[in-house]
A and B are shown apart, each in its own frame.
Chain A
Amino acid sequence: MRIIGVAGTAKNTGKTTTISALLMGLSRTPSIVVGLTSIGYDGEEIDNITGLLKPRLFLKKGNVVATAASCLRVGNAELEILEQTNIMTPLGRISIAKVKRDGLVVVAGPNKSQDLKIVIEIMIEKAGCDIVLVDGALNRIVPMTVTEGLILATGAARNPNVIELAEETRLICSILDRPEVGERYKKIVKDLELKTIAVINNDNTVKVIRYPALIHDDIAEVLNEHITDKACGIYIPAAVSQPVLNKLVEILDNRLQGFTIILSDPIKLLISGQPSKIMDMIKKIESLKGRIEVLKKVPVLAVTINPFYPCYSFEKGLYEPAYVDEKFLKEEMKKAISLPVFDVIKDGSESLIKILGF
């Protein structure tokens, strides 16, 4: 697996710590050329929002980084620019650079899927990366559809209630594990180059509407007008909103039997609303004998957990570091999900690296 994303469920859930652990682990095999980029901004000493200390990323000589112009000179790693792209970010144009001397880097990479795709391609094809790590940003996850596998970083910063956190993580993993749709539908989407929402009929004809995303009740209404008796599926290429999807489910009701709702990837579903509500809706669709599936899966490889959370002190008017019981957190998480669970600070990086196949 060559393109690995690390996505967080919130700020301070340990994305950067996880990336650091991966970098550390991979550096034990010097022949591997590691590429690093970020869909946000990472590597500063102090968190942009809470003002607490954050780790910075350390790269070894020979590795590759894709970062914005104004970050190139900030760290102490010596960098040699291999290629300047035309991709602009708030921190300047993205460059792909090789590390000439070990050191810390500040990474602010492309922040949207289309740009990320271009950058990763350059890193692999031109800069010779064997693996590219994509650091997440905040709770943002959509650009991660470009990756081949995800490591999910969650922890007390998302919710200090460990029971609730474990349950939510279970739901997230389950949502991301939606099955891929059959070849028939894949072919229709591909052949017709569907870019907006489409109703697919028994006879393989389609009816498209002008919206790509199902995010508003009005769009559900528009869509409903095109759903006839011969409809057997709906393809939604862009975002969905769980409440709107729910409304569609209500409209379709019994017609859902044998009906397939197709999303482009499970991330679209994950960002549609609260995980528990999404799961309720999936159950409802399934209970009506309908299906909700995806064109392309984004496999979750592992979950990393972080007991840290910033706790706001009203007396002092600032955020202070706080921790939940890490043993309890790990136990609950392991009970909830079938994926490997790591506390990278405690467990080190070896087992995590193994999962990547290195």
Chain B
Amino acid sequence: MGFQKKKVLLAPLDPVHDIGLKMIKRGLDQAGHETILLPPDYSPEEIIKAAMDHNVDVILISRTLGYRVAEILGSFIDLAEASGLREKVKIGIGGMAIRPELAAELGFDAGFGPGTTVEEAVAFVEGREYVKESKGKNKIKKDMTEKYDYTFKNKTIEKLLSTIADGIIEYVKDKTTPGIERAKIREKMLEINDEAELLQLKKEYANLCDDIVKAYYTKGTLKEKTRQLSREELEALTTYLERLKNKMNPEYLQYTETNPIVFIQYGTGCPFMDIAHIKTCEAWGADGVVHFDPSWGARTEGFYEGYITHEEDGSIITYENLKIIKEALMPSSLWQVRAHRGLNTPETVLLAGKVGADLTKINIAYGSLGGGTDPERLTVDAVAAIKYAARFGMPFDVVTNEELCGVPAYKAFAGMLIVTMLGLKLGARPILQPLFCYSPEVMIGGQMSDNYVDFNAAKVMALRSILNAPIWCGAPIGFLTQTEDRVQSSLSTALHASLASSLGVDGISIASADEAYSGGPISAAARIDTLRATQAAFRFFGHTQIVPTKNSEVWASQIVEGIEKTLEAVVKNGNFVDALYKGLLGSREEGAYPGRAGRGTVKAYTFWG
């Protein structure tokens, strides 16, 4: 013990014993202090005499609050002081309604209210200034990929993937797209200071954009329902964040070291509302946040510039918008900017990297089969995007949302693994993102007719048997199991979070309790609901394992077989892009439609000079 041994008198000023007082007694005993616990219902005079008789150093009083009780406690303190005790004895008060303000009003040396830790009381006894163990304040940013070496256990699959990935790299070698060219121009724009040169670059950039974006660069106009944020608004945001900084003392969601890190997704349309939600989620314990951009942005060539808000879902990507969001984040918060589909994939990853994002999201198979982007265009763009990700040291996840269209998990996984291998070959660090969802596949196949556990577990087991890579379950977990009822919705999220944790995954993305509600924007309160539910579930299960039935093993091996078969078909087909069009990684019958955005825009390098 680093501190002098103290003698502590614990006294309930109540007719009954307070459990908190007993817990503190135990803590003090363990810390090597001498404690004397008085029976309940002693009078103030008796407590003070006991303190004198035992020559104690500290008195800890517990008392339930009610009207006039404040006066009783005030009298107690008066009596203690008049008795000369306070010159050498410290007196603390604990109880349900005790807050520091009240302890000050009552005249005590310290107050221990709800949420007080035993450690806090021990620190008081030992005369140490208690630094609230705000684990949150010391939160450290985690790298999900850190402990993975990406070795393949399934050598057959490794070989197939290698062949396909090499084919892709070869395929895109002398191809480029307006998206790739814009990213190059943007990078120059961000690096030069010369006004004239900048103007010239803007012209070049505008020429590679769709009319709606070009209009901004030539006439300064924005599309409908969008507007520039005013200087007044930006200044207000700075003040708001400055004030908020001192008030942040974030919760910690994880209860054990094995609980995964928790991401939330934002994209209200307005960067300010996004920031307000992000800060709320950070305060309630979210470890990371994922930026959602508008769906029209994915179908539009080119990005705007400046601080822009709009009144629809998804927040517009501009360098400035990303920058204010980045600056608002706590240093420990992980930040992902998605680039998994659309015509601006390379530039998105470039901007994310430039602004300082931690993670991005790239998947050719989903982006072209479920995300509306032309397979060829996205293949070429994705390679460029992955190269940026590698350059900026940003791991990216490979999401498998095509499952939601109806593509069976094994096919979606085949696509995911192809992009994963591509990422590895290009020097990036990919993260596997299987869905924890009630997908059309299982609705028809009945794999979830008994429980939501087995099939989700099978997915993770299958991936683990193939390679040693980080797993981040998405997105959000429990997709299509949630209803508009916030209790059911939060519970379902929390249970899926617990399952993910039991399976030892590295990260999860959670929805708000508004997940199934489509009548308006997600509310901040609905975000807190699921964060709290997840925290409670992590506390409930601790290190407990959720044990799936035997079905999970059977389904896991079926998934692995399916992946192998799919990859064989792709290899046999010869060309990856062609395989996407043909439906080898998800067919029209399964609900996967090769996207049309950007079709015919891939050109030979020489075209652009």
Chain A residues engaging chain B, CB cutoff 8 angstroms: 10-11, 39-42, 44, 48-50, 68, 70, 88-91, 108, 111-114, 137-143, 195, 211-213, 215-216, 218-219, 237-239, 241, 244, 267-268, 271, 312, 319
Q: Is the CB of B83 within 8 A of A114?
A: no
Q: What are some 23 contacts across the A-B interface (CB < 8 A)?
A: A10-B71, A11-B70, A41-B105, A68-B104, A70-B100, A89-B104, A108-B105, A141-B78, A143-B81, A143-B107, A212-B83, A213-B48, A213-B84, A215-B49, A215-B83, A216-B49, A219-B49, A238-B83, A238-B84, A241-B45, A267-B82, A312-B67, A319-B67
Would you call the interface of chain A mostly helix, strand, loop, or mixed? loop
Would you call the interface of chain B mostly helix, strand, loop, or mixed? helix
Indicate if B101 sits at the interface (CB-CB under 8 A): yes
Q: Which residue of B lies closest to A243 (CB)?
A: B45
- A238 vs B83: C-alpha distance when bound (angstroms): 4
- A39 vs B46: C-alpha distance when bound (angstroms): 25
What residues of chain B lie closer than 8 Å to A239, measured between beta carbons?
A: 48, 79, 82-84
What residues of chain B lie closer than 8 Å to A142, measured between beta carbons?
A: 77-78, 81-82
Once A and B bind, how many residue pairs between them come within 8 Å at the CB atom?
Answer: 122
What residues of chain B lie closer than 8 Å to A113, measured between beta carbons?
A: 81, 86
Q: Which residue of B lies closest to A50 (CB)?
A: B67
**Interface hub of B65, B79, B82, B86 (most chain A Cβ within 10 A):** B82
What residues of chain A lie closer than 8 Å to B133, measured between beta carbons?
A: none
- A88 vs B106: C-alpha distance when bound (angstroms): 15
- A10 vs B67: C-alpha distance when bound (angstroms): 11
Indicate if B75 sits at the interface (CB-CB under 8 A): yes
A11-B71 CB under 8 A given contacts A211-B52, A271-B78: yes
What residues of chain A lie closer than 8 Å to B100, measured between beta carbons?
A: 70, 90-91
- A13 vs B70: C-alpha distance when bound (angstroms): 14
Q: Is the CB of A238 within 8 A of B82?
A: yes
Beyond contacts A49-B102, A50-B67, A137-B107: 10 other A-B pairs, Cβ-Cβ < 8 A, are A40-B107, A49-B65, A70-B100, A90-B101, A111-B109, A213-B82, A215-B49, A216-B49, A268-B82, A271-B78
- A91 vs B109: C-alpha distance when bound (angstroms): 9
Indicate if B8 sits at the interface (CB-CB under 8 A): no
Indicate if B103 sits at the interface (CB-CB under 8 A): yes
Indicate if B110 sits at the interface (CB-CB under 8 A): yes
Q: Is the CB of A271 within 8 A of B70?
A: no
Q: Is the CB of B71 within 8 A of A139?
A: yes
**Nearest Cβ distance between residue A107 and chain B, in whole angstroms?**
10
Which one of A137, A141, A143 lies within 8 Å of B106 (CB-CB)? A137
**Nearest Cβ distance between residue A92 and chain B, in whole angstroms?**
8
Chain B residues engaging chain A, CB cutoff 8 angstroms: 45-46, 48-49, 52, 65, 67, 70-71, 74-75, 77-79, 81-84, 86-87, 99-111, 129
- A238 vs B101: C-alpha distance when bound (angstroms): 28
**Interface hub of A50, A113, A142, A219 (most chain B Cβ within 10 A):** A142
Which one of B86, B104, B129 lies within 8 Å of A114 (CB-CB)? B86
What residues of chain B lie closer than 8 Å to A195, measured between beta carbons?
A: 84
A40-B79 CB under 8 A given contacts A139-B71, A213-B84, A219-B49: no
Q: Is the CB of B45 within 8 A of A112?
A: no
**Nearest Cβ distance between residue A297 and chain B, in whole angstroms?**
16
A140-B74 CB under 8 A given contacts A70-B100, A212-B83, A215-B83: yes
A271-B75 CB under 8 A given contacts A114-B86, A238-B84, A241-B45: yes
What residues of chain B lie closer than 8 Å to A216, measured between beta carbons?
A: 45-46, 49
Q: Is the CB of A49 within 8 A of B70?
A: yes
Q: Which residue of A lies closest to B99 (CB)?
A: A48
**Nearest Cβ distance between residue B85 and chain A, in whole angstroms?**
8
Q: Which residue of A lies closest to B246 (CB)?
A: A73
- A199 vs B51: C-alpha distance when bound (angstroms): 23
- A91 vs B52: C-alpha distance when bound (angstroms): 27
Q: Is the CB of B79 within 8 A of A271?
A: yes
- A238 vs B48: C-alpha distance when bound (angstroms): 12
**Nearest Cβ distance between residue A12 and chain B, in whole angstroms?**
11
Q: Is the CB of A111 within 8 A of B107?
A: yes
Which one of B77, B79, B84, B99 lies within 8 Å of A237 (CB-CB)? B84
What residues of chain B lie closer than 8 Å to A112, measured between beta carbons?
A: 81, 86, 107
Q: Which residue of A lies closest to B102 (CB)?
A: A48
**Interface hub of B46, B74, B77, B102 (most chain A Cβ within 10 A):** B74
Q: Which residue of B lies closest to A108 (CB)?
A: B104
Q: Which residue of A lies closest to B86 (CB)?
A: A112
What residues of chain A lie closer than 8 Å to B106, measured between beta carbons?
A: 40, 137-138, 140
- A68 vs B105: C-alpha distance when bound (angstroms): 12
- A216 vs B52: C-alpha distance when bound (angstroms): 11
Q: Is the CB of A88 within 8 A of B109?
A: yes
Q: Which residue of B lies closest to A158 (CB)?
A: B71
Q: 5 closest pairs, A vs B, by CB?
A: A239-B82, A213-B83, A138-B74, A90-B103, A41-B104
- A140 vs B107: C-alpha distance when bound (angstroms): 8
Q: Which residue of B lies closest to A9 (CB)?
A: B71
Q: Is the CB of B109 within 8 A of A137?
A: no
What residues of chain A lie closer than 8 Å to B86, measured between beta carbons?
A: 112-114
A49-B67 CB under 8 A given contacts A90-B111, A114-B87: yes
What residues of chain B lie closer than 8 Å to A70, measured between beta carbons?
A: 100
- A246 vs B83: C-alpha distance when bound (angstroms): 18
- A41 vs B106: C-alpha distance when bound (angstroms): 8
- A11 vs B70: C-alpha distance when bound (angstroms): 8
**Interface hub of A88, A90, A113, A140 (most chain B Cβ within 10 A):** A90
